[in-house]
């Protein structure tokens, strides 16, 4: 075992000092900082979290010690197993170690003040976010302890959770779906972790039917990415990596929907439901419009000038793509209505919100993206937010007519 590994294990074992000396754990961290150059950033990052706790308490803000403790585990013990496997298997092992070690540590430090369900939820969230950051970030000794701590802290507020077994089943369900997408070459390992985080949070805060809408988008997007792939490849406009999507695609299309699902769970207002439907309809309509529209025999036209342009140019639209966007939006509306999430008005919201959101995506592509102001993922994020806004406005109109 290398010296740096020994230092990291020593830092990890310091988690057992937290219940007795709390923020003073920075002192042994300082010793490791001085003795081992390779783990200095990690030591400093964890020390800063410990210093933040008493500093924030001055403003009546509580950074729970058990959150910091789970970050110790996620950034020290878990990464050691990551090296022995490929990226996806290593990420799963990372999650398992964080849960298995983080759960008893958090239970010990919380002193019975937290339910077993909340501890499990937080360690799963910490493990997933830590595994994702460990693989996606180049500065993992900073991003893993800080990132995982901030994600857990964000969700450490009091919120009713289902029983322990159901939380585990939801996590397993999400992982199985992600692994299936990975084996089908529809997603890479980072996208699997991202989808798992989204699935866990959406189901816990809003319910399974909400995630089923997102799942429909994921499945249709993956399927139609391969539609006419050879033709799109010849034109040089096919998705990179053989159509396998990454975490940026997952978050740019799902982040608005995730925020709306969490808001619905916290506030219970139906405006978030209709905004969610319109947001997912936008993502689905845009994906189908792009993947199917690019195979059109007619030349695309710029949405801003209606002049002919080349396939794959940002802002280009075709009649086939417009029909595909309508179909993608309607599918989401029909699913939402069929699952009892919304009445027939849900179809109208999906159709209008999705279609307008998709075309707003094209408008942004022709203007901001073509000038380098927004990336494709940035355009997707803004467009889904615009679709959600349309859905919210339509819900408001429904209330006054």
Six token digits for residue 210: 């909400």
Backbone angles phi, psi at 295, to 5 degrees: -95, 5
Q: Which residues pair with 320 in a beta bridge?
A: none
pLDDT at 2: 78
What are the average pLDDT values for consecutive 10-residue runs of the chain, which has 401 residues? Answer: 85 94 94 92 96 92 95 92 77 94 94 93 97 91 96 93 94 93 87 94 96 94 69 53 78 97 96 98 94 83 91 88 95 96 94 97 94 94 98 93 75
Q: What is the DSSP string of 143-172?
A: HHHHHHHHHHHHT-S------HHHHHHHHH
Q: Rg of the chain over CA atoms, in angstroms?
A: 23
Question: Which is nearest to 143 in space by CA: 29, 48, 245, 1?
Answer: 48
Contact 4, 33 (CB under 8 A): no
pLDDT at 312: 78
Q: Which residues pair with 317 in a beta bridge?
A: 301
Q: How far apart are CA 155 and CA 120, in angstroms?
A: 12
pLDDT at 156: 92
Q: Which residues contact 238 (CB under 8 A, 6 or more apart)?
A: 229, 232
Three-class DSSP category at 18: helix
Crossing angle of helices 270-293 and 376-400, rounded to 10°: 140
> What end-to-end distance do the CA atoms of the chain give, in Å?
71
Write 293-299 long-range contacts (CB < 8 A, 24+).
Answer: 293/317, 293/318, 293/320, 293/321, 293/322, 293/324, 293/325, 294/228, 294/232, 294/235, 294/237, 294/321, 295/227, 295/228, 295/231, 295/232, 295/320, 296/320, 296/321
Give residue limits of the domains in the chain. Answer: 1-158, 209-401
Within 13 Å of residue 170, how many CA atoms lie on the same side as its CB?
28
Q: How far apart are CA 341 and CA 350, in angstroms?
A: 12
pLDDT at 266: 94
Quote the pTM value: 0.92
pLDDT at 221: 85
pLDDT at 334: 97
What per-residue string of b and e applies to 96-112 under the rule 16 or more CB within 10 Å gives b?
ebbbebbbebbbebbee
Question: Which is nearest to 277 in space by CA: 177, 390, 358, 191?
Answer: 390
Three-class DSSP category at 69: helix
């Amino acid at each position: 075992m290398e010296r740096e590994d020994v230092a990291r294990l020593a830092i990890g074992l310091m988690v057992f000092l937290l219940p007795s000396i709390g923020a003073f754990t920075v002192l042994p961290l300082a010793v490791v900082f001085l003795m081992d150059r390779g783990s200095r950033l990690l030591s400093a990052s964890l020390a800063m979290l410990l210093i933040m706790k008493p500093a924030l308490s001055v403003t009546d803000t509580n950074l729970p010690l058990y959150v910091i403790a789970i970050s110790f585990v996620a950034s020290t013990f878990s990464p050691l197993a990551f090296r022995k496997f490929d990226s996806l298997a290593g990420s799963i092992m990372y999650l398992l170690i964080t849960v298995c070690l983080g759960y008893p540590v958090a239970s010990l430090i919380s002193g019975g003040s937290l339910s077993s369900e909340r501890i499990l939820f937080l360690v799963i969230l910490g493990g997933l976010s830590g595994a994702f950051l460990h693989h996606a970030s180049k500065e993992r000794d900073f991003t893993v302890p800080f990132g995982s701590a901030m994600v857990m802290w964000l969700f450490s507020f009091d919120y009713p959770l289902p029983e322990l077994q159901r939380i585990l089943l939801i996590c397993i369900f999400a992982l199985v779906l992600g692994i299936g997408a990975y084996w089908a070459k529809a997603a890479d390992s980072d996208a699997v972790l991202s989808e798992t985080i989204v699935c866990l949070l959406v189901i816990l805060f809003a319910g399974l039917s909400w995630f089923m809408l997102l799942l429909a988008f994921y499945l249709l997007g993956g399927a139609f990415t391969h539609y006419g792939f050879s033709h799109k490849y010849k034109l040089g406009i096919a998705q990179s990596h053989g159509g396998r999507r990454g975490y940026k695609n997952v978050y740019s299309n799902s982040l608005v929907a995730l925020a709306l699902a969490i808001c619905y769970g916290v506030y219970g207002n139906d405006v978030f439901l209709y905004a969610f439907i319109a947001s997912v309809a936008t993502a689905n309509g845009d994906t189908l419009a792009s993947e199917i529209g690019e195979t059109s025999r007619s030349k695309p036209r710029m949405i801003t000038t209606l002049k002919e342009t080349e396939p794959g140019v940002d802002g280009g639209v075709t009649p086939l793509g417009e029909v595909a966007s309508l179909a993608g939006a309607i599918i989401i509306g029909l699913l939402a209505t069929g699952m009892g999430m919304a009445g027939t008005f849900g179809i109208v919201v999906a159709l209008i919100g999705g279609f307008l959101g998709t075309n707003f995506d094209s408008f942004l592509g022709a203007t901001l993206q073509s000038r380098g102001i927004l990336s494709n993922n940035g355009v997707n994020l803004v467009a889904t937010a615009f679709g959600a806004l349309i859905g919210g406005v339509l819900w408001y109109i429904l209330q006054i007519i």
